[in-house]
Amino acid sequence: MNPGSQDLERPILSQSAYVSLNTGTLSHKIEFFGSYTEKRKVCYLVDCSGSMQGLFGRVRRKLKESIASLQPDQYFYVIFFGGGKLFESGNGRLLRATQEAKSAAYEFIDWVQPAGQTNALAAFERAVQIRDGGGDSPSVIYFLTDGFELINDDPPEAERFPQKVANLQARFAPTTKINTIGFWPQNSDREILKIIARQSGGEFVLVDN
């Protein structure tokens, strides 16, 4: 898959930050909007569509805080999706959480601006194909959105969406958990987020304050 963001100039995280370690758990937990994991390797999959405009400052801050707390033996990757494009913090490889990689990530996060509509399925397709140096997928995907604009007008499509995500996961990352985070989602979107989390063994967090 060739992300649309590759045609744009953007901060690129250092290739020298790529290091492979065995997947495992840590005593230091990763936290993002009250969702926790003890796993070592995480991919942040974050909605940057136009509907996120009023929320994006808070999302930026929380994302930076989560990355800042990562230890040197943890790994991360960031994908923003919006406007029919994907914006990535690297070239498909999980990054070791060095200070250099974190600093580049902060710059990248500040560079992204919310616009356009939500295309979450393409974002999932990319996220489940991210790998570390040993070919392992992320242990956890944090998926954050305020809703699914492109499928709300088509109830049958909305019902099929969680299954499409499950099919992608089964094909590319069967052991990855998906922790979903909903920002004031409509009831139908909230149920989709719950299903996606549950079918992967992850958890759903509602942000409504």
pLDDT digits (tens, 9 = 90+) for 83-97: 889 999 999 999 999
The full DSSP string for 87-119 is EESSSSB-EE--HHHHHHHHHHHHH----S---
Residue with tokens 């995500």: 165
Q: Where are the domains of the chain?
A: 4-18+25-188+200-207
Query: Which CATH fold topology does 4-18+25-188+200-207 show?
Result: Rossmann fold (3.40.50)
Q: Which of 4-13, 41-50, 95-104, 184-193 has the lowest mean pLDDT?
A: 4-13
Q: What is the pLDDT of residue 25?
A: 45
Query: What are the tens digits of pLDDT across the range 133-163?
Result: 999 999 999 999 988 864 445 556 667 899 9
Residue 112 in tokens: 């992204």
Query: What are the tens digits of pLDDT across the range 21-58?
Result: 343 444 478 999 999 999 999 999 999 999 899 899 99
Burial class (CB in 10 A: 0-12, 13-18, 19+), 122: middle
Query: What are the tens digits of pLDDT across the range 153-189?
Result: 555 666 789 999 999 999 999 999 999 999 988 888 8
The model's pTM is 0.85
Q: Residue 182 pairs with which residues in a beta bridge?
A: 145, 206
Q: What is the pLDDT of residue 116?
A: 87
Q: Residue 43 pairs with which residues in a beta bridge?
A: 77, 141
Under 8 Å between Cβ of 177 and 141? yes
C-alpha span between 78 and 185 (Å, rounded): 22
Mean pLDDT for 2-13 is 43
